[in-house]
């Protein structure tokens, strides 16, 4: 008997234009993207697909047999986004084609603007997956939930009582500034892991592997648009795929990680902290202050590379309290107005429109009298220190 064929799940998203501001994807753009993917299915590029949106992001969920980073699949997604952008421009939608940073496809959508999460695996007899899609935030928004799902026994009881999970997981952490990554083991290296992923603007959990056999458990998009474009072009609105059950955390354990609406960066103009609110598809739109940040969870079973579902997993009264808490946190954070910690810190504001304001005002900054008076003293102390240093062998 030959090896079982591998299935690839690809989730690729982009902001190609929105109705009435950064609010929601227009149904006509969803329709044209669906038509492009239907053609790809008929030609055998993909096996199955599901097109949806979260806020102003068009989401393409595809299954195929071609592996991760396949040129044909990525080109199909690129064409869907380009065709949807044409419709968005015809309709005069806001920020049409915002996430498409290039006119030409170059073999892969990575680096061209869209966010990408893909994983390849041999299907189990039952293969449940959960696709998470967030709007008005950044890839690091998934750091805390991924840690809770795969490393925190207070969230995931299976880490303690299920022998198949008890061995732990490996976290591949991506440094978005340096373009490097490191693999850290849980539970042995969780302090080192937390030291990194506690800075979600820089270190992002890119994927999680089961330690016992390196089987893929989760993958997250890590594209930072500002670092690609060199300027602020919108927040990065990440997507993630998580496998559930039978050797991985149960679906309920995976969803439990989102029951606390933790603070994430993004929201209005990508410049503010706000709570990540878990919502059903009916509330997958962003209104108040272009937010607050939302996350949707769609559950599928994958069988013979076909998508069975979805189930709208956060559309449940069990998450009403999480949403209520998010509303309270929203009120609290909003009352800070333009002050930190509602507004992001200076290192993150470099990638927003704030530098343009500073450039306009730079000639109006004058040195204070205290600073002028202190300068000679500081310079003399530095010279004395330098002289003492030179006397040391």
| Residues that are catalytic | 15, 232, 235
Q: Is 217 helix (H, G, I), strand (E, B) or coil?
A: strand
**Residue 216: CA count within 13 A, CB half-sphere:** 22
The total of other beta-carbon atoms located within 10 Å of residue 386's CB is 9
Q: Which of 65, 73, 80 is nearest to 5 (CA)?
A: 65
Whose tokens are 């690839």? That residue is 8
CA dist 114 and 230 (Å) reads 15
Q: For residue 277, what are its two tokens?
A: 């609110």
Q: Rounded to the nearest 5°, which phi and psi values hold at 74?
A: -65, -40
- Distinct helix (H) and strand (E) counts, the chain: 11, 15
Which parts of the chain are beta strand (E)?
A: 6-14, 48-54, 57-64, 115-122, 128-135, 169-175, 180-186, 203-210, 216-220, 239-243, 263-266, 272-275, 277-278, 294-303, 306-312
Complete DSSP assignment for 290-335:
TBS-EEEEEEEEEETTEEEEEEETT-SGGGHHHHHHHHHHHHHHHT
In whole angstroms, how far apart are CA 280 and each of 15, 130, 312?
20, 13, 6
The total of other beta-carbon atoms located within 10 Å of residue 312's CB is 16
């Amino acid at each position: 008997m030959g090896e079982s064929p591998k299935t690839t799940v690809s989730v690729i998203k982009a902001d190609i234009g929105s109705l009435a501001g950064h609010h929601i994807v227009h149904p006509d753009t969803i329709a044209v993207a669906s038509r492009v993917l239907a053609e790809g299915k008929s030609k055998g590029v993909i096996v199955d697909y599901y097109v949806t949106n979260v806020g102003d992001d068009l989401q393409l969920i595809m299954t195929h047999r071609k592996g991760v980073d396949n040129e044909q699949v990525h080109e199909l997604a690129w064409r869907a986004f380009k065709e949807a952008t044409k419709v968005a421009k015809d309709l005069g939608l806001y920020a049409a084609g915002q996430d498409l940073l290039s006119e030409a496809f170059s073999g892969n959508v990575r680096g061209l603007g869209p966010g990408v999460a893909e994983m390849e695996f041999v299907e189990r007899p039952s293969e449940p997956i959960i696709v998470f899609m967030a709007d008005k935030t950044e890839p690091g928004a998934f750091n805390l939930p991924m840690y809770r799902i795969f490393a925190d026994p207070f969230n995931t009881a299976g880490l303690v009582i299920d022998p198949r999970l008890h061995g732990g997981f490996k976290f591949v952490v991506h440094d978005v500034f340096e373009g490097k990554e490191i693999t850290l083991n849980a539970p042995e290296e969780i302090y080192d892991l937390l030291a990194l992923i506690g800075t979600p603007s820089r270190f992002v959990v890119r994927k999680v592997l089961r330690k016992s056999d390196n089987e893929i458990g989760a993958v997250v998009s890590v594209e930072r648009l500002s670092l690609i474009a060199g300027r602020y072009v919108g927040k990065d609105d990440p997507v993630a795929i998580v496998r559930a059950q039978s050797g991985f955390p149960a679906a309920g354990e995976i969803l439990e990680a989102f029951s606390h609406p933790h603070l994430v960066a993004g929201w209005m103009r990508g410049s503010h902290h706000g709570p990540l609110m878990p919502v059903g598809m009916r509330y997958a739109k962003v209104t108040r202050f272009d937010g607050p940040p939302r996350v949707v969870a769609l559950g599928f079973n994958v069988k013979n590379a076909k998508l069975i579902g979805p189930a709208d997993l956060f559309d449940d009264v069990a998450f009403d309290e999480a949403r209520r808490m998010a509303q309270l946190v929203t009120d609290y954070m909003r009352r800070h107005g333009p002050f930190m910690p509602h507004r992001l810190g200076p290192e993150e504001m470099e990638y927003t429109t704030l530098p343009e304001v500073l450039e306009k005002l730079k000639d109006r900054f004058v040195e204070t009298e205290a600073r002028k008076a202190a300068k000679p003293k500081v310079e003399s102390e530095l010279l004395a220190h330098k002289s003492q240093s030179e006397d040391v062998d």
